[in-house]
Chain A
Amino acid sequence: MSLQALTPPLKSATRIMMLWSPDWPITAALRELDLSAATPLALIDRGEVFACSPAARAEGVKRGLRVREAQARCTDLIVKHYDPDQDVRVFEPVIAVIEKIMPGVQLIRPGLCAIHAQGPSRYYGGEPKAASVLITTLASLGLTTARVGVADSPFAAEHAARATEVLEGAEKDPIWVVPPGESPQFLSTFPLDVLEEPKLAVLLRRLGIRTLGDFAALDACDIRNRFGVEGARAHRKASGLDHRSVVARKPPVELDVVVDFEPALVRIDQLAFAFRTAADRFVERLRATGLVCTALRVVMHSESGEVSDRLWRHPRWFDADDVLDRVRWQLQGGGLIEHGLQSGITRVHTIPATVEDLGDHADGLWGTGPEESIHHGLARVQSMLGHVAVLTAVVAGGRMLKDRRVFIPWGDSPTSHPTAAKSEQGIPWPGNVPGPAPATVFDEPLEVLVVDAAGRSVDVDARGMLTNAPALFTPPGTTTGQHAVQHWAGPWPINERWWDSSGRALNRFQLVDDTGAAWLLLLEDHRWWAEASYD
């Protein structure tokens, strides 16, 4: 039964055009980094060369070499990490261009795509002409190395495209058209390795079968009985009858919203008003495709050519008001005056950076609990005071008590703050103050006075010893109200980032005065500061 499904009648009506761009990872990297094709470049995956440019290859660099070895062979080699996402990203505009001239494109993998040949060949007047149109279009994009193969099956077409490499001299042509029905003959001379079935290839070689032609000559039923489904599939490939057909992709919906302002807008309220309908459109378009946006990128261009680009996250998802708020905050946060910009804004571009399915974010029948009402309320306060005014806090590591609290704006994820992400509770931090934590830690240390019984200022000498015992203490904010020191301890030296010019060396003291108030004091550069108060 399944055999029947695998072997339909031996008629293949579909003609497939396959576009192949050799060395796509390298081409993509060169395009992304804006380098010339003659640059020696190697892409590294897990410490080994994954792909290299022709210039590097000429110097002896090849796939599988270790980085050091490759650098030794080619001293001006540029080494980059291989990023599979980059391949897809750079290939995307190529597909978009092909879709403009030919419908029904299927992306096989970055650098390789299949097109139904029938339509384009009729439109452009023949398969070779359609293929040369494709080559010319890609050349206009700067892709001069692209090759096209046309055959009866995707497998044959791909190998026809690859076979153009062997054409030399007068026959040199980036297009190879295998006439209809001749695909089996075309494939018959290829070695078994092109099937990419190493186990099967070894077995067949032992049976004395060396080319695809020999393999295709065997009876399909015998192959199916002896080698199972995998073998039958390979046999059909070798016979030029690929079971795969081209499934054209659906071009993705354009979700970005770009608004140009002419003349440029100079006031935030004007901009907010003008952008309101665009924000509505942005959210409505997402909703129509059944998506919600959870991370938003806002790019703003100003008249003087500045570009402000920022990624905003949302604990739930953006509605139109939220989008508008982010646009406003991005302008206000740039240190600009509240209602006037340095130069007018000419363009606002909103891009959904992360979209999720609407179904995962739908409200429950009775709402989604108290968190939702809290979020709504806090969003309101944020729209009054700005994004960074409403905060949550985590305790992080640090020698100074002020460094130990890290504020995270409501809606941002704690992991996006490096210091917060690293904070690990319970691990002792050098220079920690023992005992209960003070309730008040001053944002900026306040100046205080500590003197001994004779009224001389208390200091620490070069050996880290106290010059005289503290006896009188003047709390911050007052100049006259001296209190007698009842208990004290210190100095506890802190040497923060001694290797760095921005590092500081200071001494810490604890002190209780006669009113029972306890203080944490700092002595830095012969001056006394109150770091915290145990009030």
Chain B
Amino acid sequence: MLVPGTASQPEHGLGLQEKINQMQGSRLGSRRLPTIPSLGRILPGGALLAGAAYSVENSTTLAMALLAGPSGSGAWCSVIGIPDFNVEAAANLGIDLDRLILIPHLDGQWLAVTAAMVDVVSIILTIAPATITGSDAARLRARLRQRGAALITIGAWPQSEAVLSVSENTWGGLGTGSGHLQTRRLKVTAKGHNGRSRSSELSHAELRQSMWPQLSGSDNGKNDRHFIPRVVSA
């Protein structure tokens, strides 16, 4: 006696596996990286997690804002394969340029360079090549978890912890033939790997690392910097 809808057994198996994958956390008590509170609110786990991968769909600013949290508290960051990355905007968002390593041109060695950089820095921003295979992604993921680094990709990434995107953009200050861009409000949506999505409306100023409430009293947080301890195996 067959229940309608369970006719194809393999399909059913795949669906189940998918569900198990989704419910299984990718982590085991992962360490949280310092994150800008306005983004931490919508991320699964409440913050960027060490060893996880995140993808950002359509906004470099948003990706920079994710970097700004760890960078502002002393972590080393790396931007790989993005020649158009504007360091001035990064500096304005609170990324420490002294601890930012840029590798704009990769010579086709994306995986080797990214894997090498995982050993070095705490957080990596990159554009994932479209041709990445599942096994390569899984190996990189294992390395990320082992090293406790986080990966942020612009564009899709298999098995990312969350997919962030800007769904609405509102600009202020610009008229018709007059004024200039001054303010920006954006609606950021984070879709977790379990399918739940949360979104938040925030202003451009809230993306800045110096807008941290706990650091607002100090002089732009420079003195409060502490290095995030990382597991460094010989």
Contact = CB atoms under 8 A, between A and B. Distances in A.
B103 A439 contact: no
A493 interface: no
Interface in B174-209: 174-182, 184, 204
Contacts of B17: none
Interface string A499-535: 0000000000010100111100000000000001111
A441 B84 contact: yes
A518 B169 contact: yes
A439 B168 contact: no
B54 interface: no
Interface stretch (A105-113, A180-188, A372-380): A372-380
Nearest to A441: B86
A516 B102 contact: no
A253 to B, nearest CB: 35
Interface centre among A410, A466, A489, A490 (most CB of B within 10 A): A489
A421 interface: no
Interface in A399-436: 401, 404-405, 407, 410, 433-436
Given A385-B106, A393-B87, A410-B101, A439 B177 contact: no
Nearest to B106: A385
Interface in B62-118: 64, 76, 83-89, 91-92, 97-98, 100-107, 109, 112-113, 116-117
B92 to A, nearest CB: 5
A391 interface: yes
A390 B103 CA distance: 5
Interface string A263-286: 000000000000000000000000
Contacts of A407: 102, 104
Going nearest first, the 3 A-B pairs with the smallest beta carbon separation are A516-B169, A377-B120, A439-B60
B170 interface: yes
A435 B181 contact: yes
Contacts of A395: 87-88, 91, 97
A370 interface: yes
A487 interface: yes
Contact of A439 (B86, B109, B120, B230): B86
A225 interface: no
A401 B175 contact: no
Given A385-B113, A441-B88, A488-B176, 7 more contacts: A391-B102, A407-B102, A437-B86, A438-B86, A440-B85, A469-B177, A489-B174
A488 B177 CA distance: 5
Interface of B: 58-61, 64, 76, 83-89, 91-92, 97-98, 100-107, 109, 112-113, 116-117, 119-121, 168-171, 173-182, 184, 204, 227, 230, 232
A489 B84 contact: no
Contacts of B181: 435-436, 510, 512, 518, 534
A364 B103 CA distance: 30
Contacts of A384: 109, 112-113, 116
Contact of B61 (A374, A439, A487, A512): A439
B84 A510 contact: no
Interface residues of A, number: 48
Interface of A, secondary structure class, is: mixed
A393 B64 CA distance: 15
A407 B87 CA distance: 10
Contacts of A389: 103-105, 107
Interface in A357-401: 370, 373-374, 377-378, 380-381, 384-385, 389-395, 401
Contacts of A377: 116-117, 119-121
Contacts, number: 148
A442 interface: yes
Interface centre among A378, A393, A488 (most CB of B within 10 A): A393
B176 to A, nearest CB: 6
Contacts of B103: 381, 385, 389-391
A381 B117 contact: yes
26 contacts: A374-B120, A377-B116, A377-B119, A377-B121, A381-B117, A389-B103, A389-B104, A389-B107, A391-B101, A401-B88, A405-B86, A436-B181, A436-B184, A437-B86, A437-B88, A439-B86, A439-B89, A440-B85, A441-B88, A487-B171, A488-B176, A490-B177, A510-B174, A512-B174, A516-B171, A518-B169
A443 interface: yes
B174 A392 contact: no
A373 B104 CA distance: 22
A393 B89 CA distance: 12
A491 to B, nearest CB: 10
A381 B85 CA distance: 20
Contacts of A394: 87, 97
Nearest to A372: B232
Contacts of A440: 60, 84-86
A226 B217 CA distance: 69
A385 B173 contact: no
Contact of A518 (B64, B171, B175): B171
Given A405-B88, A488-B177, A489-B180, A512 B171 contact: yes
Interface string A227-266: 0000000000000000000000000000000000000000
A171 B121 CA distance: 79
Contacts of B59: 439, 535
Contacts of A378: 101, 120
A443 B86 contact: no
Contact of B230 (A370, A410, A487, A490): A370
A438 B178 CA distance: 19
A489 B171 CA distance: 13
A437 B113 contact: no
B111 to A, nearest CB: 12
Contacts of B204: 436
B170 A516 contact: yes
Given A381-B117, A384-B112, A436-B92, A391 B104 contact: yes
A487 B170 CA distance: 11
Nearest to B182: A435
Interface centre among B76, B109, B120, B227 (most CB of A within 10 A): B120
Contacts of A435: 173, 180-182
Contact of B97 (A374, A392, A404, A532): A392
